[in-house]
């Protein structure tokens, strides 16, 4: 391949001589076709301009339709016309130069100075010159009076309030000397200002304005052709009138008309010009309309290219398919095709596919010709198929497809799945892959693409398969992990009280495909932990603290308090794939932090983790439907003890706050180093209310833990909080305890009225209640004032989510776009598309984060543990 | 309330602006590699000199090295991932 570096790209405008040189033919007649339907000689469809019909040869280059690039023609304009896009440029030139001599309206020394500043280069100093020439009344070079030129947009000029015509303007700007143009920003070797006024007009090749033959044989012309016809007509009339010696007035009218047509030919949306209409009243789509905007060439056709072999519908969760599977609706599968190469090994299978298919199948012969298989020619074609043929068959189970959700922010936004054709009209996906796509099922639509080559299929399978994306390349920990029901279910299964009869245990074993029932571990019964252990790899050894035990500790519980409590508080200990103690909760299974998931993902093949998720799904699904997990208001009712404690704590806090306010006002309050008095005071106040909240929260949690520590565990929101599958202790506190301090921007709400938050407060009351402290909870309901404080905090949260998603989304987009072409090269360096260096070692240490343990390339402690285990 | 009774302030004024820049914690160490050794280095790295990022001859961080056009500057930076990492730049 020949590679050449592009040094620079230059945009300029064409002069009349250049237009004539480039032109294949001068267009003179407004007619396009003669009565026999052949292009008119010298007309807009002249065969010199290129070919669009097959079989005809171009009169300019002699090539056929495929190879002829199309050629430009030109129209000689009878009178010059201003190019509407350059009106402003002309106005600037005319206001800085003299009409008589063409020199800049500045004394020689000043021009010299400017030229020196430019150092002989072409520099645009128009702005500077404009400021100085505004007040000049007389040309310093030829003493001619200087007047102001005004532009009546887009193309009419007035000099000293009198109309000045394009011919005059052309003469004027031709006079401007080269040295002066250079400091006005014009490089005269490339561009001359008189070219802003056109004496000849380019006619684009017919390839960009093809005429369409309708079914009834009537030819329909492109909008651009229509516009060019208008220009030629007026040009012809102008010529006739000039030759006939018509009065000046008529000529000027025609001239303006020509100007109008040329203006709208370039831009049919020019301000101050009525848009040219088609016969039907539709505005014409001329050059600028073709390129500009959302529906223009750039955004619609070049950046927005569309692909074949793709499908898009609504997504729906289906936990009974694997995470790297994708349910594709039959309807879509019938439209999507996959090429199958006929080899000696699959010849018979392929023949069967062609025979049995109820949808049209295509065969592609080795020479590239395609043939549709129909009922009539089926037998004949089946006989014909041989090695080297290709068929395009419908999608079937097991085909590899790509699945994508916009916005595609990271590589996990597009992953490969294996297809499963399913009834219905929607895509079905395992809800466990929602986080990487950031998908939910409130009406989200997603796209599916079918790779068409063997290379594509292999790449998709090896690099993009969903189960190989479980560990995020961003932080080296799993992004695909159970959530909500998955965690709750695992928790319900591994609670100390959970045990099953032989019958239920066998049912559960059947769900996960274990054929040999292990020995019961609780007399005649089977514990939930034993069942859970069946889905773990047999050589897994782990020990870590569960989230549940942390909550128990926070609530002030001790292992000595009871046998069940002790079991909850034990560390999770897995020995040879058997859970010996502890409960499985979010500390084992969550996204990013789940130790169990993380270890399986790291130590085993990805298919092991996929199988684990598959089994876990079945177990949790069964257990949750069997036991039921439900929420009731009764869970948030607190005992009288808590109620009295709550009142006591609030009263104490009030008293403390009063003392604090007093010491603050007296000035005896201790100041936090580095803070002002006010800041310190606010901090103390926040601290007091937080302390109060903590106390009550702890007590409530302690009481609520009874739900799970009883002989028979109750599965409700408390179990959810404990396993961290949903909700937090703070949420519980807000419902059953009290809300505490409402906060706006990390502090007590400040803004409101003069020295007070709301008008029902006393002025300058710094106390707790006047500063947004809420003593009630959601269950009891708040007072009007407290509700208002709460809304202040709520509003900030709402604004924050709105603003931060918007801002960070745009920021991320810009960052991602700037980095998207940067690749890590085979030699370990990081390079841009043009092969220049960014980093000498990928990430400075040459380590791919996906292969690390949460960012650390080597976890020394873990490696030591492993070595120790091996030694024993 | 704790109170500081006496404060002794010593203002150290560095007259040499260059040294202030070099001493700043955000300015990494810059080392000049002379033209003669550049080819050797490029061969070692397996790259062409054109693909190196550029640095201005008058860049404040290397002004004191008095570099010439075509020299290569070695920059030793602290790195979160690798402890220390070296970068090269072509003087223009």
Q: What is the ipTM of this complex?
A: 0.79
Tokens of A438: 């950031």
CA distance A45 to A49: 7
Taking residues A194-219, report their average pLDDT: 89
Residues of A in contact with B82 (CB under 8 A): 841, 843-845
CA distance A510 to A532: 13
pTM: 0.78
Nearest 5 degrees, angle CA A534-CA A490-CA A518?
20
- With a cut of 90, say whether residue A611 has pLDDT above it: yes
Crossing angle (nearest 10°) for helices A729-736 and A677-704: 90
Low-confidence winner among A591-595, A695-699, B14-18 (lowest mean pLDDT) = B14-18
User: CB–CB of B53 and A845 under 8 A?
Assistant: no
- When CB atoms are compared, the residue of A670, A836, A843 closest to B1 is A670
Residue A690's CB: how many other CB atoms inside 10 A? 11
Which residue range(s) make up the domain with B36?
Answer: 27-91
Tokens of A68: 């002829």
A623-634 tens-digit pLDDT: 999 889 888 898
Q: What is the pLDDT of residue B12?
A: 67
Q: What is the pLDDT of residue A652?
A: 94
Q: What is the pLDDT of residue B3?
A: 60
Nearest 5 degrees, angle CA A701-CA A707-CA A710?
125
Number of structural domains (chain B) is 1
What 3-state class would DSSP assign to A549? helix
CA distance A366 to A379: 19
Q: What is the pLDDT of residue A732?
A: 92
Terminal C-alpha separation, chain A:
61
Sign of CA dihedral A449, A451, A457, A462: negative
Portion of chain B with pLDDT greater than 90, in percent: 14
- With a cut of 90, say whether residue A733 has pLDDT above it: yes
CA distance A37 to A33: 5
DSSP-derived pairing of the beta strands A162-164 and A156-159: antiparallel
A276-295 tens-digit pLDDT: 888 888 999 999 999 988 88
CA distance A165 to A161: 13
Give the torsion through C-alpha atoms of A180, A181, A183, A184, to 10 deg: 120
B54-55, strands of its sheet edge to edge = B29-33, B72-79, B83-91, B54-55
CA distance A371 to A424: 31
User: CB–CB of B85 and A841 under 8 A?
Assistant: yes
Q: Please indicate, yes or no, if residue B2 is contained in any of the structural domains.
A: no
The model's confidence at residue B5, banded by pLDDT at 50, 70 and 90, is: low
What 3-state class would DSSP assign to A590? coil
CA distance A277 to A293: 20
| A550 Cβ contact partners less than 8 Å away, ≥ 6 residues apart | A587
Mean pLDDT of chain A: 89
Question: Contact A471/A848 with Cβ under 8 angstroms?
Answer: no
Q: In chain A, which residue's Cα lies nearest the Cα of B1?
A: A670
Q: In chain A, which residue's Cα lies nearest the Cα of B51?
A: A836
Residues of A in contact with B46 (CB under 8 A): 827
Q: Which fold has domain A634-786?
A: Topoisomerase I; Chain A, domain 4 (1.10.132)
Architecture (CATH level 2) of domain A310-469: Beta Barrel (2.40)
Q: Does A864 contact B at CB distance below 8 Å?
A: no
CA distance A401 to A405: 14
Q: Please indicate, yes or no, if residue B21 is contained in any of the structural domains.
A: no
Delimit the CATH 1.10.274.100 region(s) of chain A. Answer: 485-627
Taking residues A687-695, report their average pLDDT: 93
CA distance A607 to A600: 10
Please give the DSSP secondary-structure letter assigned to residue A395.
P
Residues of A in contact with B81 (CB under 8 A): 843-845, 847
Question: Contact A490/A464 with Cβ under 8 angstroms?
Answer: no
Q: Please indicate, yes or no, if residue B16 is contained in any of the structural domains.
A: no
Residue A138's alpha-carbon distances to A142, A162, A164, in angstroms, are: 8, 18, 19
Please give the DSSP secondary-structure letter assigned to residue A345.
T
Q: Does A819 contact B at CB distance below 8 Å?
A: no
CA distance A159 to A524: 108
SS (H, E, C) A329-341: EHHHHHHCEEEEE
Residue A81's alpha-carbon distances to A21, A190, A254, A255, A284, in angstroms, are: 20, 21, 12, 8, 21
Length of chain A: 872
Delimit the CATH 2.40.40.20 region(s) of chain A. Answer: 310-469
Q: What is the pLDDT of residue A440?
A: 93
Tokens of A526: 């089977």
Output phi, psi for A662, to 5 deg.
-60, -50
Residues of A in contact with B53 (CB under 8 A): 836-838
CA distance A194 to A86: 11
Radius of gyration of chain A measured on its C-alpha atoms: 40
Better pLDDT: A50 or B16: A50
Q: What is the pLDDT of residue A585?
A: 92
Q: Please indicate, yes or no, if residue B5 is contained in any of the structural domains.
A: no
Taking residues A204-211, report their average pLDDT: 90
Residues of B in contact with A831 (CB under 8 A): 51
DSSP-derived pairing of the beta strands A370-373 and A325-329: unpaired
- When CB atoms are compared, the residue of A829, A837, A845 closest to B81 is A845
Q: Which residue has the tokens 């570099």?
A: B67
What 3-state class would DSSP assign to A702? helix
Q: Which residue has the tokens 């499963």?
A: A420
Sign of CA dihedral A725, A728, A733, A739: negative
Q: Please indicate, yes or no, if residue B18 is contained in any of the structural domains.
A: no
> Between chain A and chain B, how many beta carbons pairs sit less than 8 Å apart?
35
CATH number at residue B50: 3.90.940.20
Q: What is the pLDDT of residue A868?
A: 83
- With a cut of 60, say whether residue B1 has pLDDT above it: no
| A476 Cβ contact partners less than 8 Å away, ≥ 6 residues apart | A849, A850, A851, A852, A853, A854, A855, A856
- With a cut of 80, say whether residue A716 has pLDDT above it: yes
CA distance A142 to A322: 88
Q: What is the pLDDT of residue A23?
A: 93
- When CB atoms are compared, the residue of B1, B45, B53 closest to A836 is B53
Residues of A in contact with B1 (CB under 8 A): 670-671
The model's confidence at residue A1, banded by pLDDT at 50, 70 and 90, is: low
CA distance A604 to A470: 12
Taking residues A454-480, report their average pLDDT: 92
- With a cut of 90, say whether residue A74 has pLDDT above it: yes
Q: How far does A857 lie from chain B, in Å, by closest CA?
A: 9
Taking residues A373-382, report their average pLDDT: 82
Tokens of A549: 């035990």
Suggest the residue from B42, B81, B85, B90 to mutate for an interface test with chain A (most A CBs closer than 10 A): B81
Tokens of A140: 């310093």
A831-863 tens-digit pLDDT: 888 788 888 888 888 888 888 888 787 878 878
Q: Among candidates A630, A588, A618, which has minimal Cα distance to A430?
A: A618
Q: Please indicate, yes or no, if residue B15 is contained in any of the structural domains.
A: no
Architecture (CATH level 2) of domain A485-627: Orthogonal Bundle (1.10)
Q: Which residues of B touch A (CB under 8 A)?
A: 1, 45-47, 50-53, 79-82, 85-88
What 3-state class would DSSP assign to A68? coil
Q: Please indicate, yes or no, if residue B62 is contained in any of the structural domains.
A: yes
């Amino acid at each position: 391949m020949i590679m050449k570096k592009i040094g620079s790209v230059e945009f300029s405008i064409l002069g009349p001589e250049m237009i004539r040189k480039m032109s294949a033919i001068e267009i003179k007649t407004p007619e396009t076709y003669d009565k026999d339907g052949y292009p008119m000689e010298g007309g807009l469809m002249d065969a010199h301009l290129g070919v669009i019909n097959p079989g005809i040869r171009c009169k300019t280059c002699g090539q056929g339709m495929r190879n002829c690039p199309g050629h430009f023609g030109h129209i000689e304009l009878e009178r010059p016309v201003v190019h509407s896009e350059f009106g402003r440029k002309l106005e600037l030139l005319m206001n800085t130069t003299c009409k008589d001599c063409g020199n800049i309206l500045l004394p020689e020394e000043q021009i010299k100075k400017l030229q020196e500043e430019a150092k002989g280069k072409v520099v645009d100093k128009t702005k500077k010159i404009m400021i100085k020439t505004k007040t000049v009344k007389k040309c310093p070079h030829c003493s001619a009076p200087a007047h102001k030129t005004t532009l009546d947009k887009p193309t009419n000029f007035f000099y000293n309030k009198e109309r000045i015509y394009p011919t005059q303007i052309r003469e004027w700007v031709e006079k401007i000397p080269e040295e002066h143009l250079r400091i006005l920003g014009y490089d005269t070797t490339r561009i001359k200002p008189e070219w802003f006024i056109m004496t000849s007009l380019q006619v684009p090749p017919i390839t960009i304005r093809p005429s369409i033959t309708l079914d009834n044989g009537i030819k329909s012309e492109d909008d651009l052709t229509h516009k060019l016809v208008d220009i030629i007509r007026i040009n012809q009339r102008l010529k006739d009138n000039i030759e006939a010696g018509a009065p000046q007035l008529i000529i000027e009218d025609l001239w303006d008309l020509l100007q109008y047509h040329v203006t709208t030919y370039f831009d049919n949306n020019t301000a101050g010009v009525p848009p040219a209409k088609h016969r039907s009243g539709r505005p014409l789509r001329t050059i600028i309309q073709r390129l500009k905007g959302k529906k223009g060439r750039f955004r619609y056709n070049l950046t927005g290219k569309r692909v074949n072999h793709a499908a898009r519908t609504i997504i729906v969760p289906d936990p009974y398919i694997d995470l790297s599977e994708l349910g594709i609706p039959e309807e879509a599968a019938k439209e999507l095709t996959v090429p199958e190469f006929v080899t000696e090994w699959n010849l018979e299978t392929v023949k069967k596919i062609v025979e049995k298919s109820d949808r049209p199948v295509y065969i592609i012969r080795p020479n590239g010709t395609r043939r549709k298989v129909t009922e009539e020619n089926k037998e004949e074609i089946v006989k014909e198929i041989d090695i080297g043929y290709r068929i395009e068959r419908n999608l079937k189970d097991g085909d590899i497809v790509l699945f994508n959700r916009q916005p595609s922010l990271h590589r996990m936004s597009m992953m490969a799945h294996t297809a499963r054709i399913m009834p219905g009209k929607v895509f079905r996906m395992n809800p466990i892959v929602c986080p990487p796509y950031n998908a939910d099922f409130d009406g989200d639509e997603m796209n599916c693409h079918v790779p068409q080559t063997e290379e594509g299929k292999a790449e998709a399978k090896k690099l993009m398969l969903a189960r190989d994306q479980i560990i995020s390349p961003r932080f080296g920990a799993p992004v695909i992990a159970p959530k909500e029901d998955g965690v709750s279910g695992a928790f319900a299964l591994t609670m100390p009280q959970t045990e099953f009869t032989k019958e239920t245990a066998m049912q559960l074993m059947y769900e996960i495909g274990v054929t040999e029932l292990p020995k019961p571990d609780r007399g005649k019964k089977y514990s939930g932990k034993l069942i859970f252990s069946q889905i773990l790899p047999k050589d897994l050894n782990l020990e870590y603290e569960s989230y549940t035990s942390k909550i128990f500790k926070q609530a002030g519980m001790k292992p000595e308090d009871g046998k069940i409590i002790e079991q909850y508080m034990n560390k999770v200990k897995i020995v040879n794939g058997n859970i010996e103690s502890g409960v499985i909760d979010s500390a084992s299974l969550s996204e990013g932090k789940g130790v169990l998931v993380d270890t399986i993902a790291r130590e085993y093949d990805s298919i092991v983790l996929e199988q684990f998720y598959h089994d876990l799904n079945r177990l949790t699904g069964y257990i949750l439907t069997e036991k039921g997990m439900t929420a009731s208001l009764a869970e948030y009712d607190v005992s009288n003890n808590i109620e009295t404690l709550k009142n006591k704590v609030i009263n104490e806090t009030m008293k403390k706050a009063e003392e604090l306010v007093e010491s603050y006002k007296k000035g005896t309050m201790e100041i936090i180093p580095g803070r002002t008095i006010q800041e310190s005071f606010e901090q103390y106040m926040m601290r007091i209310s937080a302390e109060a909240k903590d106390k009550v929260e702890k007590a409530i949690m302690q009481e609520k833990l009874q739900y799970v520590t009883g002989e028979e565990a109750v599965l409700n929101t408390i179990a959810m909080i404990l396993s961290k599958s949903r909700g937090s202790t703070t949420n519980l506190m807000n419902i059953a305890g009290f809300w505490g301090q409402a906060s706006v921007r990390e502090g007590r709400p400040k803004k409101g009225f003069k020295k007070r938050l709301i008008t029902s407060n006393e002025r300058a009351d710094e106390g707790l209640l006047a500063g947004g402290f809420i003593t009630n909870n959601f269950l009891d309901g708040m007072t009007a004032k407290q509700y208002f404080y709460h809304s202040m905090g709520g509003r900030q949260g709402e604004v924050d989510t709105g603003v931060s998603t918007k801002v960070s989304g745009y920021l991320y987009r810009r960052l991602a776009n700037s980095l998207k072409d940067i690749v890590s090269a085979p030699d370990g360096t990081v390079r841009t598309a043009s092969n220049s260096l960014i980093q000498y070692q990928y990430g400075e240490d040459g380590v791919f984060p996906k292969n690390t343990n949460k960012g650390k390339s080597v976890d020394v402690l873990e490696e030591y543990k492993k070595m120790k285990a091996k030694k024993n | 309330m704790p109170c500081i009774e006496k404060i002794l302030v010593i203002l150290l004024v560095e007259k040499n602006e260059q040294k202030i820049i070099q001493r700043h914690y955000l300015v990494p160490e810059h080392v000049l590699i002379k033209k003669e050794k550049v080819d050797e280095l490029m061969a070692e790295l397996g790259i062409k000199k054109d693909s190196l990022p550029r640095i201005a001859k008058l860049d404040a961080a290397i002004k004191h090295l008095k570099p010439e056009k075509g020299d290569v500057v070695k920059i030793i930076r602290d790195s979160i991932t690798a402890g220390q990492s070296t970068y090269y730049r072509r003087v223009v």
